[in-house]
Amino acid sequence: MKKFSGSFAVTALVAAMSVSGLSQANVTDKDILDDQKTVEDVVSNGMGPRGQRYSPLDMINTATVKDMRPVWSFSFGGEKQRGQESQPMVKDGVMYVTASYSRVFAVDTKTGDELWEYNARLPDGIMPCCDVINRGVALYEDLVIFGTLDAKIVALDAKTGKVKWKKTVADYKEGYSITAAPMVVDGKLITGVSGGEFGIVGKVEAYDAKTGKILWTRPTVEGHMGYIWKDGKKVENGISGGQPGQTWPGDLWKSGGAATWLGGTYDPDTNSLFIGTGNPAPWNSHMRPGDNLFSSSRLAIDPDTGKIKWHFQTTPHDGWDYDGVNELISFDYQEGGKTVKAAATADRNGFMYVLNRTNGDFIRGFPFVDEITWAKGLDKKGRPIYNDTFRPGNPSAGEDGNKGSVVRAVPAFLGGKNWMPMAYSQQTELFYVPSNEWAMDIWNEPTAYKKGAAYLGAGFTIKPTNEEHIGVLRAMDPKTGKEVWRYKNYSPLWGGALTTAGNLVFIGTPEGYLKGFDAKTGELKYEFNTGSGIVGSPITWKQDGEQFISVVSGWGGAVPLWGGEVAKRVKHLNQGGSVWTFKLPKS
């Protein structure tokens, strides 16, 4: 359906009239914890706090999916298109979905009609590194909460779209922004920050979801002090890790990066937030010898206090911008007659890791891409065994001191897997990993920190590693490290996966297709072209006895901005901005 025109005041009036027949959204902590089991709604990013993106629904299955049809499409409208990386939420007959340039829409799930729209008033000078995207909202009680490109958290009334509270998380003039969907744990709104390419200091913060009052803040660069607010007073809550400079030289920890730009997951079993951290700043690793904690790591954080319980660093002394933000997904498996409480993550560096989620111990790790040059493998603790030949050279060793030796590093810095979330099936016990095969020529350059300026100290060119495909959807067995099947895609995959008890896996492609695969064999069972590239994450839910699937369509994100020679492959793709919703015909 086309969106209504007019000012926000008119839109809000339309909203009040349109939702009169719909119940008021009221999302509780129990609703969020039970999200994976309660198929009538989707109230958490990841379709459950663990982020498995698995649904027990099976009406749409390998036998029936061929008959699936679109029932409505909603356009975000206007000229603000660009990349659309949102995961929609659904509650009480209303879909809440974000769009580029920090917009939120409420849509009637029966008709596709707009109920209300909120546009953040973004200032000039915002500095998002990787397109003007937004990955979704959090729902709590009668609020719809999301982050903005100028690093604010905004809570909207779920019925009208009017602002209930707004908080500034960080200064956008320093390079901070927010693109991830926040999450709610026990009434606490948890958010990270973006901006690692600008020398910011990453952090995780908790706010009272109902009022917006800050509860605690935890920096993710070693040496910075965390704080907790008690009775309205700010109290020191311990330094993150060791003392300043322990794994950083000089004062570089003061602008160390480690942005928490993808948000996280939550494990109720251990009461832990699992948050990934981004690259250390600058990219030029010769300027900062040491492990550079807590960059390129997974952190387990106590949601009540903000203290770090344990950390696992996937790329110590990262010199390739491999980050460590990718989602850590909790799952259980049986081994030797015992239940292993595990968590898995597929890293940009090309390795997939299985950890003990109770203490962060390394269980196993294995490549999930076809080529890795920067490391020879992993040691018994999961630490990479570096191949120093493929670390970009030190500029000071060059003839003019302006450029270090160029190396061919694989994967490229956009990663074996980037932000696009994988899915875990409780039915097949496999992970479905959207991945990419590409390499980069990368070199280091001198640089210095300047507030609000790019802080890289590196140059690069990304190249495909073969002519036939870049994207690969892989089914990976976390117990053995074996690839069960793969699907090759000509252009890069940049959207999330969904798996269901109908023995299906869904993913979108930049060519515009929503594709459905047999989860056990990888056989393609369904495809439909939405008219623009898909870089969002599909969801499924049940309404009036029928199963629905929705996905956001709209090409953009980091690939056309940073992709080098890869970007040439996709330059013909059309931008867009819409939500497509599908179901089976009524019998």
d(CA 532, CA 553): 6
Tell me how crowded residue 508 is: count the other CB atoms within 10 A of its CB.
30
Query: Exposure pattern of 337-365 as b/e (b: 16+ CB <10 Å)?
Result: eeebbbbbbbbbbbbbbbbebbebebbbb
- What is the CB neighbour count within 10 angstroms for residue 94? 25
Residue 568 has what pLDDT? Answer: 85
**One pLDDT digit (tens) per residue for the chain, 587 residues:** 433 333 333 344 344 444 444 556 799 999 999 999 999 999 999 999 999 999 999 999 999 999 999 999 999 987 778 999 999 999 999 999 999 999 999 999 999 999 999 999 999 999 999 999 999 999 999 999 999 999 999 999 999 999 999 999 999 999 999 999 999 999 999 999 999 999 999 999 999 999 999 999 999 999 999 999 998 899 999 999 988 989 999 999 999 999 999 999 999 999 999 999 999 999 999 999 999 999 999 999 999 999 999 999 999 999 999 999 999 999 999 999 999 999 999 999 999 999 999 999 999 999 999 999 999 999 999 999 999 999 999 998 876 778 999 999 999 999 999 999 999 999 999 999 999 999 999 999 999 999 999 999 999 999 999 999 999 999 999 999 999 999 999 999 999 999 999 999 999 999 999 999 999 999 999 999 999 999 999 999 999 999 999 999 999 999 999 988 998 888 899 899 999 999 999 97
Going along the chain from its start, the domains and CATH numbers come out as 8-46+54-583 (2.140.10.10)
Global confidence as pTM:
0.95
What does the pLDDT read at residue 78? 79
Asked if 377 and 358 touch (Cβ cutoff 8 Å), the reply is no
> Residue 9: what pLDDT?
37
Q: What are phi and psi of 126, to 5 degrees?
A: -65, 150
Catalytic residue annotation: 321
- The dihedral over CA atoms of 367, 373, 376, 377, expressed in degrees to the nearest 10, equals -20
Rounded Cα gap, residues 559 and 102, in angstroms: 20
Q: Are 177 and 125 in contact (CB under 8 A)?
A: no
Q: Report the pLDDT value the prediction gives residue 563, as an integer from 0 to 100.
A: 86
173: three-class secondary structure by DSSP = helix
pLDDT, residue 170, reads: 98
Strands 504-508 vs 497-500: parallel, antiparallel or unpaired: antiparallel
